[in-house]
Chains A and B, each alone.
Chain A
């Protein structure tokens, strides 16, 4: 494996991080993931944030794997 870090957005699921990384809280304290490859919560409903616990399935979280664009088109002026 190269020393490149890869973050993969899985459809309707978490962000999976592979490769070297350091996970921190906002004060710079390390959050130890305890494993090489981690899944970061993307639905906001995990009980072990920032890690994924599968809750996205219970809440039917939906998000594409690719970049999404839900910006509302500007309304034409009245």
Chain B
């Protein structure tokens, strides 16, 4: 369980201070009323807001070390989270004001593919061709905010679906979770890769180093996943995620091999995603997203909205990481210690 992180501003300071104490009673929805939530121009780059939201959501996953479990359903905390989510959602609507014409069940795979085709290959190409092993380690640290709980945010959607799209989602998720073999669980493979590159694979170990833009990509999934009204968006998110995975992961693996890391522990995570996501892409776009729209055509716009929001936040994150690397800077809030150079 992650330890409480260090605050990044008044909002996260107030939230983390509250979480260190007992949760207020169920009849107290006002306890955090005086905590101000900022409305920055770019909420996804706001360290204070994204960290506070990430911690509020983490209570629904594996929790935070030393935090009273009753906070998860505290009306006071949910009220504060709701105010943060309003800022988050307004930011999304500003980024994606219009998704265009809603696709039919038969065409949604083409619509998702169109968004996937706009995916800038910048970061994966950089890793393949130029990155150092220390830059790889930074990317793993950034990604650990999601990858150590890979697939979990999309699992929130399961009880909200029925029939064909549910069957497709479960088929994908079963594979994500290792098909019954814990050692093949994607989150486990990611932990193996972290360890192979000399990193701490403990859940949440690097939270204090992970910048807002990386946290925002995880908060996006939690936001869509935890609200039933956004079930179309979480499905669209997963459909695009699976459609933009095989080729970049192939590049990540190629870059590690370029750096002499062909060992199973280092590359298995990426190799597995090349193959797995080549399967998942079809199930996710045609069977899952198409199946959902067939049942409820009114969700088609939300499916595209979820996909577009992923493309925007992911693009902003990769752009920031790449800019840091190209400038010779660390992409983290606090750089890692460099790996000792082997003699």
Contact = CB atoms under 8 A, between A and B. Distances in A.
A39 B175 CA distance: 13
Contacts of A73: none
A54 B171 contact: no
B274 A13 contact: no
A53 B175 CA distance: 16
Contacts of B276: 35
Contact of A54 (B110, B246, B286): B246
Interface in B156-209: 171, 174-175, 179
A52 B277 CA distance: 9
Given A52-B279, A54-B274, A54-B281, A36 B175 contact: yes
A14 B274 contact: no
Interface string A31-58: 0001111110000000110011111011
Contact of B175 (A12, A35, A52, A55): A35
B253 to A, nearest CB: 10
Given A13-B282, A37-B175, A39-B282, A54 B109 contact: no
A11 B113 CA distance: 11
B278 A37 contact: no
Contacts of A39: 275, 278-279, 282
B282 A51 contact: no
Nearest to A12: B113
Interface of chain B, helix or strand or loop or mixed?
helix
Interface string B276-320: 111101110010000000000000000000000000000000000
Contacts of B2: none
A48 B275 contact: yes
B245 to A, nearest CB: 8
B250 interface: yes
B279 A54 contact: no
Interface in A1-50: 8, 10-14, 16, 34-39, 47-48
Given A47-B250, A57-B247, A13 B281 contact: yes
A19 to B, nearest CB: 12
Contact of B274 (A35, A38, A53): A53
Contact of A58 (B110, B179, B247, B281): B247
Nearest to B250: A53
Nearest to A13: B282
A37 B279 contact: yes
A51 B278 contact: yes
Contacts of A54: 245-247, 250, 274, 277-278, 281
Interface of B: 109-110, 113, 116-117, 171, 174-175, 179, 245-247, 250, 274-279, 281-283, 286
15 contacts: A16-B279, A16-B282, A16-B283, A34-B275, A37-B171, A39-B279, A39-B282, A47-B250, A48-B275, A53-B274, A54-B274, A54-B277, A55-B247, A57-B113, A57-B117
